[in-house]
A and B are shown apart, each in its own frame.
Chain A
Amino acid sequence: MEMPAPSAAVLAKRDRIVERLRKLLPADAVIDDPAETRAYECDALTAYACSPLAVVLPSTTEEVSAILGLCHAEQVPVVPRGAGTSLAGGSLPTEDSVILGVARMTEVLETDYDNRFIRVQTGRTNLSVTGAVEEDGFFYAPDPSSQLACAIAGNIAMNSGGAHCLKYGVTTNNLLGVTLVQMDGTVLELGGAHLDPGGLDLLGVVCGSEGQLGVVTEATLRILPKPEGARPVLMGFFSNEIAGACVSDIIKAGVLPVAIEFMDRPCIRACEAFAKAGYPDVEALLIVEVEGSETEIEEQLGLILQIARRHEPEVLREAADADEAARIWLGRKSAFGAMGQINDYICLDGTIPVSKLPEVLRGIRELSRGYGLEVANVFHAGDGNMHPLILFNANEGELGKAEALGADILTLCVEVGGCLTGEHGVGIEKRDLMSVQYTPADLEAQMRVKDVFDPAWLLNPAKVFPLAASASRRIAAE
């Protein structure tokens, strides 16, 4: 993965920059000892690593503003960071950059049940947002699998999703407002506890902008009353085609499950070996979950099972109690862990139209054979967001081959009308594939937005856009 050469001018004044940062922040909030900055050298895309010039850990919006103002004056690139769980290299530093981590900004600022929102500092983890309102019967809906660790900051920057977003939407659909600090230190409020912007929807474009438009320090999030109950059902099918058709029929029927998860045989086998959830050895498996009261669950599952039976399932397993429900989810939830046990893997994240599921799974199988690398599939089928896991052995130098296979699979996703990434973001990982999905004019339109928010191209500059496409801007800004 190519990264631009670090700015010699910035590297030359490193001591001065650190000294000036120390004047702005408490002593323990500025880190420049190489032994300690190494902890920030990568995110969850661990194949790429680079220590930053320094790391700053502010506690307030005012501190963030002061840091950015200084970095702007000194023309130092800044890489915002939440919890560092990005799978796309979104928070990967460069040698000449300052990592601005919001991990110490974890306060709950306001909880308002009548108006169904919570306002938090963005370093707070996703799960602990729900944690703050759970006892009162509320929850924050977007639930990335990484929710124990990942921060709201990263969720907003990546517009993260989760298993339950089929019903509740992704981050952007649950975000009401932010405090945004621009690269020159200007602090702006976008949105708030009210709905809709009353002008251009700047909040909408900030969400998902991968830390390139500003640093988000506070967020107003929509919270929802917890449903009375939830229950999953597990279905095994003879082929991916049949499972795909079943997904489509369920969606068409007018019951909107909260989740429809899909696993193929390689994934089922690996999970079973790891988690021993008692999954059947079938070609394709679906977990469908519905919510509501006991009677509502019965009514919805009745309809869903009726549809499933038309597709002659090999296995239909209802959860009789909470324990059985947990076992149905157990294998799915340990899928990534299971894969990690047996292999190195790359987790892709393309989205496809649900109708193309069988075709794409077939295509992936052929590509996988061609490359001689195994691919296991586990994904959010209801919305077509696939997670092909490419298994490889890093010690045998297979990373390059695995990345090439990944690029081919994502290209296939785009060719059938889908996209490169459904929830993980572009980062550096898919940066150079952007031209597969977008024309130069499309990319130009997006880069104009960055020109407006960050004219000097100092925020996370070498991400998202192909380096060649952004080169003139990055150089002009220097």
Chain B
Amino acid sequence: MRPESEEELARLVAEAAGPLRIRGGGTREIGRPVPGEVVETGGLSGITLHEPGALTLVARAGTPLSEIDAQLAGDGQRLAFEPMDHRPLLGTAGAPTIGGVIAAGVSGPRRIAVGAARDFLLGVRFVDGAGTVVSNGGRVMKNVTGYDLVKLMAGSWGTLGILTEVSLKVLAKPAAEATLIARGLSATEGVAALSRALTSPFDVTGAAHLDAATTGGDSETRVRIEGLEGSVAYRLRALRSGALPGWETAEGEASAALWREVRDVLPFAGRQGAVWQVSVKPTDGPHVSQALREAGIEHAALYDWGGGRVWLLTPDAGDAGAASLRAATRGLGGHATLLRASPATRAAVPPFPPRANGVAALDAALRAKFDPRGILNPGLMA
């Protein structure tokens, strides 16, 4: 089914006889496989407003991301939260949509500096599980009028409603960027260096460490600076003579390519194995890898967000490391999501992290309110 308008979608949901699988570009097949008839959002497409001087963009949920990127680039702007393109890693095809980015709550390396997708989402319109159209938030940058359902919708994977329109805060693309690089550090040393950079006043907008198993050679630790020309030059100097002594420099396009690699987790694309996305506090990142090592599980680790987001490539056998990872994140505080695995593994291991009892009860009660018949991507986040 491919509704051409919000009203048509609302009617379709209201009249649905069974479960619905909601699809934007179909590039992020993540979570439990979902039964049901496919509802595509591609018919709800188009940028409805872009006001560069107000840093605002409003678009229908099915709008291809490429269209949005092009529109913003025309005015020297961009989506600052740097959403990952999942296609290389998951081996999917299709054109990612803005609705998919928001529903999946996708952010990239710059998230540590500027915030996540949810932080740039100003407003939403969606159709809930009863077929009712709901709007929340708006198009202005500061808005505390009523409850913030905008945050709730971001990252809800279509399980509370089908997004039809999103308003976003956008930012200017800075004039310059550069990356500082060190090689051969251990994960602990690398993350410690990233902490030094992130606790400096130099507005670091990317902080990643790729271990040797990830690069296939020496490990690589990267720190990104963006801004006006003079400012970037100044900060590079300041960091190289302070927190990051003698690190190499990559500028312009060479720097940008390094961060596309981190953003899209390209070192794991095309490699065999399961992929995990782990969230912990940054200095705990290396402990997650340690836990796998102790369990005798071979793996590669790519640390983003200063160590706070760990991408892991593990053997796609047994539980793919689930027991060790989930025990580790439970102990440390954080969570682990199985992002890529064979259907057999995904059927055996819940891809989304288990939630504490009281929290799980709230999740279930919210879903029962917003989708009383349980027809929207049922079970996807279970």
Contacts and interface: CB of A to CB of B under 8 A. Distances in A.
B290 interface: no
B230 interface: yes
B53 A199 contact: no
A115 B139 contact: no
Given A452-B366, A453-B362, A205 B142 contact: no
B146 A204 contact: no
Given A197-B155, A383-B141, A192 B333 contact: yes
Interface string B189-203: 000100100111100
Contacts of A380: 142
A355 B150 CA distance: 23
B193 to A, nearest CB: 11
A199 B152 contact: no
Contact of A296 (B156, B230, B280): B230
A419 B140 contact: yes
B76 A446 contact: no
A422 B362 CA distance: 28
Interface string A193-222: 111111111111101110000000000000
A421 B145 CA distance: 5
A441 B355 contact: no
Contact of A204 (B75, B152, B369): B152
A334 B320 CA distance: 60
Contact of A248 (B53, B151, B154): B53
B144 A200 contact: no
B215 interface: no
Given A198-B353, A205-B152, A207-B148, A252 B105 contact: no
A239 interface: no
Interface stretch (B13-21, B35-43, B129-137, B259-267): B129-137
Nearest to B204: A225
Given A195-B279, A434-B146, A186 B105 contact: no
A161 B75 contact: no
Contacts of A137: 199, 201
Nearest to A464: B146
Contact of A355 (B51, B160, B227): B51
A219 to B, nearest CB: 15
Interface string A253-286: 1111000000000000000000000000000000
Contacts of B336: 198
Contacts of A227: 201
Contacts of A442: 134-136, 146
Given A195-B308, A251-B55, A422 B133 contact: no
A203 to B, nearest CB: 8
B305 interface: yes
B171 to A, nearest CB: 7
Interface stretch (A166-174, A364-372, A396-404): A166-174
Contact of B234 (A203, A293, A419): A293
B115 interface: yes
A324 to B, nearest CB: 23
A437 B356 CA distance: 36
B281 A115 contact: yes
Nearest to B152: A205
B138 A354 contact: no
B52 to A, nearest CB: 5
A438 B146 contact: yes
Which one of A170, A200, A228, A443 has the highest number of Cβ atoms from chain B below 10 Å of its Cβ?
A200
A225 B353 contact: no
Which one of A182, A204, A424, A434 has the highest number of Cβ atoms from chain B below 10 Å of its Cβ?
A204
15 contacts: A165-B142, A195-B112, A198-B279, A198-B336, A199-B363, A199-B381, A205-B148, A225-B201, A251-B172, A254-B173, A355-B51, A417-B140, A419-B143, A442-B146, A464-B146
Chain A to chain B: the 8 pairs with minimum beta-carbon distance, closest first = A204-B151, A248-B53, A254-B172, A198-B335, A422-B142, A193-B281, A383-B141, A448-B369
Interface of B: 51-56, 75-76, 105, 107, 111-112, 115-116, 118-119, 128, 132-136, 138-152, 154-156, 159-160, 171-175, 192, 195, 198-201, 227-231, 234, 238, 279-284, 305, 308-309, 333-337, 352-353, 355-356, 358-359, 362-363, 365-366, 369-370, 381
Interface of A: 112-117, 137-138, 158-159, 161, 165, 169-170, 172-173, 182, 186-190, 192-205, 207-209, 225-228, 248-249, 251-256, 292-293, 295-296, 299-300, 303, 351-355, 380, 383-385, 417-426, 430, 434, 437-439, 441-446, 448-453, 464-465
Given A225-B201, A425-B144, 4 more contacts: A256-B171, A353-B56, A417-B138, A445-B132
